[in-house]
């Protein structure tokens, strides 16, 4: 949801660092991009509609010779994608980039216009530049002017601000939108997330909401919005640079699909004690006592993470015996959820920055619940705001469509189920069984990769359809939802995920020879029921692709196309069945000629509500 970068240093070329940062943050938004540097005492601004490459083309070969600058890649909220709406925005000598939403911008804009300000964009962000300029004009210092503006705006924002007359200073502020400060030698790089920083330094400072940092090339000062000094500890990033590169794959999505055996392995590393049938989750040790007393779990999440939560619900209820509900985070906060001290509210989030999930966790905290996180991005906002949690350690996920984060989340949910179950009624034998099967999964996922070409062919065969169903039952119902969202995101084919038993209650009316169904039908406890759904579709001339296991003879026989996955415990099957669906969506998108890493209208990290 918009990516911002700021740079100040003594020796390096700001232009290159900013553009490189934008490329790495492009997954956050890509409808327009812009950059502004101060060279001498002059600001040079470039903006372009489209991706960062369009901005680069506009700058051309010019060396802007600057040591300070700001840059932005946009995901439009207020105002359509256009050059005038692209950031950086300015008013007089104030230039800034913004990620978030200024909720009261309309009133502020009106008041500023009445004072004679002239606006050049439709954005909410430009208002902030005018507010700072207004304060600066009444002889407030640069810092004080920023503080004055902050006192007037409401909403979510991360801002990086420059003043043309003070080229030795960069100011960044944060309130409900992510911002990380990379600390180098005689340089600082400010960015929406660490992927834009990791090539320069692994030393970072995390700003909290309500904090502002004033940077010079070799010094920094953090305060609250009223100017009161804040002390911050530096952190060291645990990502390495190669993890943020494509490494020969055509797309990040494909690379991340193929990284899943590692992601699953890394999620369980050091956390499995087979002998005792136990899961060790160090991140929960501080709240272990509290966890023992909880009698209900509510999982809050969005998108793909929500689907992981649904699988978690089935696991936790079946094996740990704890009543569990899963809610869209965006719904949770606006109704009246019944939660108390004995409820654990778990946020599942790859980015740890999703605004709806964060708001849901705040609501849960206010109601006295224990809040936990299953988060991939270390040091992210939700990771810091929950009482305790478990990190995925899946490494950076760059492709907008989530893949390895999902299987990694399922791995953590399995460990959490064993952890909770063993505190309650789960036997050591059952704990051992689940963990032994879990450990075998990375290898089984690799086995699925041997069918890549076969799945690609199926993807091509169905890539021109207009609509399709994804069906599954019990543990594979959430996978049907996930398969459908994946193909929608990447190939723009309309797809609906359904519980296969629900087919007969309406959706089946749509079936004809042009409306195919992908049915997840491994030989499990609901296999025969799913077979009936397949038969009903076939009887209406609907084409069927089944994702199944090699012992499912009947399903294999009646389907038009078959993808076989290895066998495992029923509860772990989603970690296998989802993989061919990811590959299928990927190749359908590629066949239709789309940029699968950056699907239209989407953003990786949705930091607005
Ligand atoms: C966006 C992404 C999805 C993701 C969802 C939740 O919509 O496009 O891929 O699943 O946000 O993100 P989170 O970071 O909270 O898991």
Angle among Cα 92, 95, 100 to the nearest 5 degrees reads: 130
Tell me, what's the pLDDT at 599?
A: 84
DSSP 284: G
Does 379 have pLDDT greater than 80? no
Element (H, E) at 307: helix 303-315
For ligand 1, atom 15, name the residue with the nearest CA.
Answer: 349
For ligand 1, pick from 1, 302, 599 the residue to mutate: most ligand atoms within 8 Å of CB.
302
Give the count of alpha carbons within 13 A of 268, CB side only.
28
For ligand 1, atom 2, name the residue with the nearest CA.
Answer: 604
For residue 375, the CA-to-ligand 1 centroid distance in Å is: 12
Structure confidence at residue 244 as a pLDDT band (50, 70, 90)? low
Does 247 have pLDDT greater than 90? no
576-to-28, 68, 533, 564 alpha-carbon distances in Å: 28, 48, 21, 10
Q: Specify the higher pLDDT residue, 333 or 406.
A: 406
Q: Which residues line ligand 1 (CB under 6 A)?
A: 302-305, 349-351, 354, 357, 400-402, 602, 604-606
Beta pairing, strands 272-273 & 278-279: antiparallel
Backbone angles phi, psi at 430, to 5 degrees: -65, -40
Ligand 1: nearest atom to the Cα of 377: 14
Tell me, what's the pLDDT at 41?
A: 79
Buried b (16+ CB within 10 A) or exposed e, 462-479: bbebeebbbbbbbbbbbb
Do the domains 452-591 and 3-237 match in fold? no
437-to-114, 398, 560, 570, 577 alpha-carbon distances in Å: 68, 29, 31, 10, 15
Tell me, what's the pLDDT at 1?
A: 63
* Lowest mean per-residue pLDDT among 62-66, 231-235, 597-601: 597-601
Q: In sequence order, what are the beta bridge partners of 565? A: none
The owner of tokens 């034998």 is 429
Q: Chain-wide mean pLDDT for the chain? A: 93
Torsion of CA 355, 361, 315, 452, to 10 degrees: 20
Does 393 have pLDDT greater than 90? no
Encode pLDDT of 283-322 as tens digits.
999 999 999 999 999 999 999 999 999 999 999 999 999 9
- Specify whether the CB–CB gap between 415 and 390 falls below 8 A: yes
Q: Mapping DSSP to helix (H, G, I), strand (E, B) and coil, where does residue 155 land? A: strand
pTM (predicted TM-score) = 0.78
Architecture of the domain whose range is 3-237? 4-Layer Sandwich (3.60)
Does 240 have pLDDT greater than 70? no
Q: Specify the higher pLDDT residue, 501 or 444.
A: 444
Q: Specify the higher pLDDT residue, 507 or 253.
A: 253
For residue 1, the CA-to-ligand 1 centroid distance in Å is: 11
Q: In sequence order, what are the beta bridge partners of 206? A: 180
For residue 474, the CA-to-ligand 1 centroid distance in Å is: 23
Packing angle, helices 574-591 and 404-423, rounded to 10: 170
Domain 452-591 in this protein, CATH class? alpha beta
For residue 519, the CA-to-ligand 1 centroid distance in Å is: 24
Tell me, what's the pLDDT at 156?
A: 85
133-to-35, 44, 90, 301 alpha-carbon distances in Å: 20, 18, 9, 39
Tell me, what's the pLDDT at 239?
A: 67
Does 606 have pLDDT greater than 80? no
With 0-12 / 13-18 / 19 or more C-beta atoms within 10 angstroms meaning exposed / middle / buried, residue 513 is exposed
Does 590 have pLDDT greater than 70? yes
Does 607 have pLDDT greater than 90? no
Architecture of the domain whose range is 252-445? 3-Layer(aba) Sandwich (3.40)
For ligand 1, pick from 29, 326, 347, 605 the residue to mutate: most ligand atoms within 8 Å of CB.
605
- Specify whether the CB–CB gap between 562 and 553 falls below 8 A: no
Mean pLDDT of 453-466: 96
Query: Which residues have a catalytic role annotated?
Result: 2, 604
Beta pairing, strands 517-520 & 544-548: parallel
Q: Mapping DSSP to helix (H, G, I), strand (E, B) and coil, where does residue 85 land? A: coil
Does 201 have pLDDT greater than 70? yes
Q: Mapping DSSP to helix (H, G, I), strand (E, B) and coil, where does residue 332 land? A: helix
For the chain, the domains span 3-237, 252-445, 452-591
Ligand 1: nearest atom to the Cα of 603: 8
Tokens of 317: 């209820």
Distance CA 357, CA 517 (A): 32
Tell me, what's the pLDDT at 302?
A: 96
Ligand 1: nearest atom to the Cα of 302: 6
Mean pLDDT of 387-391: 95
For residue 374, the CA-to-ligand 1 centroid distance in Å is: 13
Element (H, E) at 49: strand 42-49
Ligand 1: nearest atom to the Cα of 301: 15
Structure confidence at residue 153 as a pLDDT band (50, 70, 90)? very high
Does 605 have pLDDT greater than 80? no
Q: Specify the higher pLDDT residue, 405 or 64.
A: 405
- Specify whether the CB–CB gap between 545 and 560 falls below 8 A: yes
Does 383 have pLDDT greater than 80? yes
For residue 339, the CA-to-ligand 1 centroid distance in Å is: 25
DSSP 207: P
Tell me, what's the pLDDT at 363?
A: 92
Q: Mapping DSSP to helix (H, G, I), strand (E, B) and coil, where does residue 107 land? A: helix
Mean pLDDT of 501-507: 86
């Amino acid at each position: 949801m918009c990516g911002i970068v700021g740079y100040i240093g003594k020796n390096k070329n700001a232009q290159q660092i900013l553009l490189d940062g934008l490329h790495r943050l492009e997954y956050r938004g890509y409808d327009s991009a812009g950059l502004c540097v101060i060279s001498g005492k002059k600001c040079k601004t470039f903006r372009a509609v489209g991706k960062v490459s369009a901005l680069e083309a506009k700058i051309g070969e010019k060396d802007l010779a600057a040591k300070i600058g700001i840059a932005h890649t946009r995901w439009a909220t207020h105002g359509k994608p256009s050059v005038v709406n692209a950031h950086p925005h300015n008013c007089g000598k104030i230039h800034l980039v913004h990620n978030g939403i200024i909720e009261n911008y309309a009133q502020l804009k009106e008041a500023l216009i009445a004072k004679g300000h002239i606006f050049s964009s439709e954005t909410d962000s430009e208002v902030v530049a005018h507010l700072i300029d207004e304060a600066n004009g009444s002889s407030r210092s640069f810092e004080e002017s920023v503080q004055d503006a902050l006192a007037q705006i409401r909403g979510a924002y991360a801002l990086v601000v420059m003043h043309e007359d003070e080229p030795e200073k960069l100011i960044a502020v944060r309130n409900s939108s992510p911002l990380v400060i990379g600390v180098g030698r005689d340089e600082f790089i400010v960015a929406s997330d660490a992927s834009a920083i990791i090539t320069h330094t692994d030393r970072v400072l995390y700003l909290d909401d309500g904090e502002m940092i004033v940077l010079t090339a070799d010094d920094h000062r953090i305060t609250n919005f009223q100017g009161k000094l804040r002390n911050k500890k530096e952190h060291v990033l645990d990502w390495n640079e190669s993890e943020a590169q494509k490494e020969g794959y055509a797309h990040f999505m494909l690379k991340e699909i193929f990284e899943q055996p590692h992601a699953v392995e890394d999620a369980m590393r050091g956390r499995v004690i087979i002998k005792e049938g136990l899961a060790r989750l160090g991140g929960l040790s501080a709240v272990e006592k509290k966890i023992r007393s909880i009698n209900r779990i509510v999982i809050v999440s969005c998108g793909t993470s929500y689907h992981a939560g649904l699988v978690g619900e089935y696991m936790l209820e079946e094996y740990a015996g704890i009543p569990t509900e899963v809610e869209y985070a965006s719904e949770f906060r606006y109704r009246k959820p019944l939660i108390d001290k004995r409820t654990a509210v778990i946020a599942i989030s790859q980015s740890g920055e999703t605004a709806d999930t964060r708001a849901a966790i705040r609501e849960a905290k206010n109601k006295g619940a224990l809040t936990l996180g299953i988060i991939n991005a270390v040091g992210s906002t939700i990771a810091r705001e929950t009482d305790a949690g478990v990190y995925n350690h899946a490494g950076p996920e760059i492709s907008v469509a989530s893949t390895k984060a999902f299987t990694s989340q399922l791995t953590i949910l399995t460990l959490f189920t064993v952890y909770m179950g063993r505190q309650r009624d789960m036997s050591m034998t059952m704990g051992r069984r689940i963990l032994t099967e879990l450990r075998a999964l990375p290898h089984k996922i690799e086995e699925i990769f041997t069918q890549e070409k076969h799945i690609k062919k199926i993807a091509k065969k169905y890539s021109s359809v207009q609509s399709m169903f994804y069906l599954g039952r019990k543990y594979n119902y959430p996978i049907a939802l996930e398969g459908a969202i994946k193909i929608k995101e990447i190939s723009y084919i309309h797809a609906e995920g359904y519980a296969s038993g629900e087919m007969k209650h309406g959706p089946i009316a749509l079936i004809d020879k042009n409306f195919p169904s992908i049915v997840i039908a491994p030989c499990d406890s609901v296999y025969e029921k799913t077979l009936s759904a397949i038969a009903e579709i076939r009887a209406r001339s609907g084409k069927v692709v089944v994702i199944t296991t090699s012992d499912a003879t009947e399903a294999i026989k009646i389907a038009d196309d078959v993808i076989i996955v290895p066998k495992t415990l029923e509860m772990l099957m989603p970690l296998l069945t989802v993989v061919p669906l990811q590959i299928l969506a990927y190749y359908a998108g590629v066949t239709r000629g789309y940029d699968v890493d950056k699907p239209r209208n989407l953003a990786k990290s949705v930091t607005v509500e």
